[in-house]
Structure 1
C-alpha cells in the first residue's frame, strides 16, 4: 500500500471518524464546493445522497492533485508520482483497505452500490492528460479528455441512481441503456465547465477549446490569452454552447429509465447546470471577467419544473 505521506496534500487526514461523521464531512464539502450539484442531491433518499457525496469528494481529491494551489508550484515528475500513488491507493481501497475517513465512506459506497473500478482509474488517467496536453487540436481529442474527467462520473453515479423496476423486469429490459446517457451528461457538464472557466484556465496556460475551431472562426490563441472579445469570439462561443446543449439533450433520453427517487434530482442537476450556458450568453460571452453561475432564486424556481419532467415516462 502506498504511504499516505507521498500525497498528503490530497489524501484526507486519517483522523478516526464514525461512518456517520465521515459522511457528514462529505456532505459539508459537497455543499461548500458544488452548490448547484448539492441542491440536486438533497432530493435523493439519504442512502443515495450520502454515496453521491462520497463519490464527489473522491473526485475532488483526484482533481486537487492537479488543480490545488499547491500543485501549481510542483514539478511535473512529482505530480505524476502523486497520481501514481493515488491510483495505487484507489486500487487498494476497492479491495476493502481503509486508511482514511474518505476510504471508510468509499468502501461502504463501493459495496452498497457495486461500484466499478475502471471509471475511477479512467479519471486518474484524465488528470495525467492535464500534465501532457495543454492544448487540444480537435474536438475528438477533447472528447476523450471530457469522458475521462467527467463522463466517468456518470458511470460512477448510475449504480447509485438505480434503474426503475418496471424496466428491469420487462422483457425488453436488456435493451435499456443508461450508461451512454450517463456519460453524455458528464461530458455536457465538463463542456460547460470548460466554457465557464476559459479565463481561469488561460492563467494556468491551458486552452481546452479545440484549436482547429478557434482558427476556423477567425480567432486566435493569442487573442484568447489576452481576453479579446469580438464578433469572432462570440461566434466561436455560440458554437461551443450549442454543442454543450446537444450533449445535454443526448443525456435526457436516459433519465426516464432511472429509479423514481433519482429522476427528480437528476433532472434538477441537468437543468440547473445547463442554465450556466444561458448565463454565459447573458454576460455577452465574457468569461474572462465574469464567472457565470445560476442564482439561488433561479434554482428554487426551477425545482417544480424539474419535478414535472421527472414524472413523465
Structure 2
C-alpha cells in the first residue's frame, strides 16, 4: 500500500519502485485529496488522459511543496537545481521516486515537452526570493511559470481536433500543436483565482501577490491588507482583480473548441468550476481574510450539464 500521508520527493532504488498501476493510483488519490474541483473535471476524461493529468498534477504539487510545503524552510536554490536534474532523468525514462513511474509512462503516451516543466521550477525560484510584485506584468510572468505551464502540459495530453482533409501545402495546419495562448490563459486565470482566494493565507507567509501598483491605485496599503481591512477601497480592488481574471477565462474559452472532442467537456467543466470561485468571493462580500471561497458540491454538479452543452455547441 502506498503511503499517502505526504508526497515522496526522495530518491529510491530501481528495485523499490511501485508498479505503474500503483503509481497512477497514488497520483489519483493525491489529486482527489488536494484539488477536489480539478479532480472532478478529470473524471470526465478517457482513462488514459485522466491518468496522465493526475501524474502531471502530482509532479506539479511536489514541485510547489518544495517552496510552500512543510519542509520548505530547507529549500535552497541548489534544491531546485537538483529537482531540475531529477526532471531531466524522468524525461530520459529514469524515475527517481514512485510518482515518477506514472509520469514516465505518460511521457511514453503523450508528446509532453520538458520546457514547461522547467519553467514551473523557475516559478518556484521566484518564490524563494520574491514576496511582492510591483506590477501586473511582473505577476503575469510568475502566473505563467507556476500555472500557465500547466495549461501547456495538459494541452499536450488533451490533444487537438484534427482538421478535415488538410491540404499538404497548408502552412497554417498545426494539428500537432497546442493552442498556446489559450492554454496559458487558462492557467493564468486559475492562478489569479488562487491568488484572490488565498490572500488571507498568503499574508500569513508574509506574501502579497496582488500587484502593489493595484494597491496604490485604490489607495489601499500593505498594512491594511495584513490587518484584513475590508472597506469600499478593498471591494473596489477585488472587483478590479476579479474582472481581470475573468478576461483570462474568456480568452481560454475561445480555445476549447480546438481541443479533441473527448477533452472539451472536462475542460469546460474544470473552467466553470474554478471560475465559480470568483462568484463565491463576491457572494462573501470579498472577505478572503476570514472565509475561504469554495464552490459547494451541489453547485458543482449543476455546472456539469451546462459544461456538456457548451462542449457540444461552442
1:281 paired with 2:287, answer: no
Question: How big is the shift at 1:100?
Answer: 2.0
Question: How big is the shift at 1:10?
Answer: 5.0
Paired residues for 1:32-51 under 5 Å: 32-51=33-52
State the partner residue of 1:173.
173
Hey, what's the Cα distance between the residues in 2 that align with 1:49 and 1:168?
29
Hey, what's the Cα distance between the residues in 2 that align with 1:39 and 1:177?
23
1:157 paired with 2:154, answer: yes
Question: How big is the shift at 1:110?
Answer: 1.3
Hey, what's the Cα distance between the residues in 1 that align with 2:43 and 2:10?
24
Hey, what's the Cα distance between the residues in 1 that align with 2:116 and 2:219?
37
Question: How big is the shift at 1:132?
Answer: 1.4
Please list the CA deviations of residues 95-145 of structure 1 after superposition, one character each: whole Å capped at 9, or x if unmatched.
Answer: 111232222111111121011010000000000000111100000000000
| Paired residues of 1:167 and 1:257 also in contact (CA < 8 A) | no
State the partner residue of 1:147.
144
Cα pair distance change 1:181/1:158, threshold 3 Å: same
| Paired residues of 1:52 and 1:160 also in contact (CA < 8 A) | yes
Cα pair distance change 1:32/1:177, threshold 3 Å: closer
Hey, what's the Cα distance between the residues in 2 that align with 1:168 and 1:64?
46
In structure 2, runs of 5+ residues without a counterpart are: 1-5
Question: How big is the shift at 1:218?
Answer: 1.1
| Paired residues of 1:87 and 1:121 also in contact (CA < 8 A) | yes
Hey, what's the Cα distance between the residues in 2 that align with 1:292 and 1:250?
23
Hey, what's the Cα distance between the residues in 1 that align with 2:230 and 2:78?
39
State the partner residue of 2:247.
246
In structure 1, runs of 5+ residues without a counterpart are: 1-7
State the partner residue of 2:92.
95
| Paired residues of 1:10 and 1:62 also in contact (CA < 8 A) | no
Paired residues for 1:81-120 under 5 Å: 81-120=78-117
Could you say what secondary structure the match of 2:303 adopts? helix
TM-score in terms of structure 2 length? 0.92
Shifted more, 114-123 versus 168-177: the winner is 168-177
TM-score in terms of structure 1 length? 0.92
Question: How big is the shift at 1:91?
Answer: 1.0
Hey, what's the Cα distance between the residues in 2 that align with 1:10 and 1:62?
11
Paired residues for 1:172-211 under 5 Å: 173-174=173-174, 178-211=179-212
How many residue pairs match? The answer is 302
Please list the CA deviations of residues 236-288 of structure 1 after superposition, one character each: whole Å capped at 9, or x if unmatched.
Answer: 00000000000000111110010010000000000110000000000000000
Question: How big is the shift at 1:174?
Answer: 3.7
Hey, what's the Cα distance between the residues in 2 that align with 1:122 and 1:261?
28
Hey, what's the Cα distance between the residues in 1 that align with 2:138 and 2:300?
33
Shifted more, 106-115 versus 117-126: the winner is 106-115
State the partner residue of 2:3.
none
The structure with more helix, counted as a fraction of residues = 1
Cα pair distance change 1:46/1:177, threshold 3 Å: closer
